[in-house]
Amino acid sequence: MSNAQLKEKLDALQCHFTWHLDITGHTEPTHVLQKLAVEIKHTAHQNQAALLGLQAYLYQLKGQSRAALQSLKDAEEHETQEEQQASAASSLIIYGNYAWIHYLQASYQEAESYLELIQQLCPTPWDTQLIPYIQAQKGWSLLAIRVRNGERARECFEVALMREPGNRFFRAGLGIALYFSWIYFWYPDIQRKAITQLERTVLEQPNNYRAKVYLARLLEQVDRERSIGLIEESTEKSSDPEVLRVSALFWLQRSTERAIEILQQALQQNPGYHLLYQVLARCYKIQWINAKNKDKNNILDAAIKDLQQILQKHPDLDLVFVELQLAEFYGERDPAQEEKIYKELQDRKDTLSPKSHQALNLYWGNFFLYKKKSLEEAKAKFMDGYKIPMLTEVRKQCAQKLTKMAWCHSDAAADIYRFIRETNRCLPTEFSGTYLD
């Protein structure tokens, strides 16, 4: 067939290359790959083939075709262990990924051979018996990328459950998707639905500690005693570093000592999980802020030393947030050293995710505001952070800083409010009804 015909058939497949996962627009493949390695090792909720397929897709985005093909081989080994319908759906997705990778390598004959395998396996692309399993794999893949995909993943699992309402793995996926939606949008009705789904999941899957820590976070303000019980049980019984990271976040405002203890436990077993270091840096900041004056210097010394060592030991990890926190600590003694780090990060802005770039603007804005007393430069940085359309706590803080500046400096108020209105007018629809309106 011609290349145009081949491309048309590839576009009609169900696989990671056709699901519009939108990786490069919002985050960096390396960050997701590092996160994904933990997902593959520690979760087993009928999602391994999906995660390995996503890994192959990410490797291909980075131009690492050999690693991509190896991930698909690993996925093939795993899908044979699944039940018949799940295995057939996995095969369709794996073969689709193979076809795309060979097509992108200009191995058109190989790509056509995988299209033939797909045709043999499923003469019609949408065999109704396979729909729920394909949708579930898409849902798991979306969740593995980032929190903001919660709503898209939720739709996938709801479609899957319409076809198979009794599938506990689909229910677990829906519960986690709802939790992700809640921590992104903070809607009370989503919180209630997430609690209902995850309560059922922890009954059906007592060893699903991710479901337990997510449920604990949902119950923090509703049932404190149960929330703490779920966190303690999960911390004691799980070696999953993501479970331990969420547990540390739970303790962050309650006991930084307990949070640091949990993080150190997790890092001994998983020194390559970069998100643990981000939480550790936050712990040090809260510990320093809350310390008595006589203890502040000692805590600052320990924090700087530890964060320096982390960055030296792990130059391959995505640790921008650790760099930013270290810069802020440096600034307590040498503002020039703090700004030097911000300038170095700005020079690397093409490699930063939008979320990291947003955070850089906030930290740098705070530096101009509090260390250099430069209102105009601070305002410009907060505006740059607010303009990045990522619905994060950092963006909210940029808005708060700008609003406070408008209150305190009437000559700048009109300019700031005009900027916020014009920026909000261009926001994606997902921002509608959020706390930023």
Q: pLDDT (tens digit, 9 = 90+) per residue, 60-69? A: 999 999 999 9
Domains of the chain with CATH codes: 3-145 (1.25.40.10), 161-238 (1.25.40), 342-437 (1.25.40.10)
pLDDT band at 383 (very low <50, low <70, confident <90, very high): very high
What average pLDDT score do residues 196-203 get? 96
In the prediction, which pLDDT does 125 show?
55
Average pLDDT rounded to a whole number, residues 309-329: 95
Interatomic CA distance for residues 275 and 267, integer angstroms: 10
Output Rg (C-alpha) for the chain, integer angstroms: 23
- pLDDT for residue 27: 56
Say which residues have a Cβ less than 8 Å from residue 324's Cβ, sequence separation at least 6: 341, 345, 359, 360, 363
335-351 pLDDT, tens digit per residue, is: 999 999 999 999 998 88
Q: What does pTM read for this prediction? A: 0.89
At residue 103, the pLDDT reads 97
More confident residue, 28 or 58: 58
Average pLDDT, the chain: 91
Residue 293: pLDDT over 80:
yes
At residue 203, does pLDDT exceed 50? yes
334-351 exposure pattern, b = at least 16 Cβ within 10 A, e = fewer: eeeebbebbeebeeeeee
Q: Among 31-40, 212-221, 376-385, which is the least confidently predicted range? A: 31-40
Q: Do 177 and 143 form a contact (C-beta atoms < 8 A)?
A: yes
pLDDT at 436: 40
pLDDT band at 392 (very low <50, low <70, confident <90, very high): confident
Q: What is the mean pLDDT of residues 120-128?
A: 71
Residue 230 in this model has a pLDDT that exceeds 60: yes
Which pLDDT does position 88 carry in this prediction?
Answer: 87
Average pLDDT over residues 188-217: 96
Q: pLDDT: is 393 or 428 the higher one?
A: 393
Average pLDDT over residues 235-253: 95
Given this model, what pLDDT does residue 126 score? 58
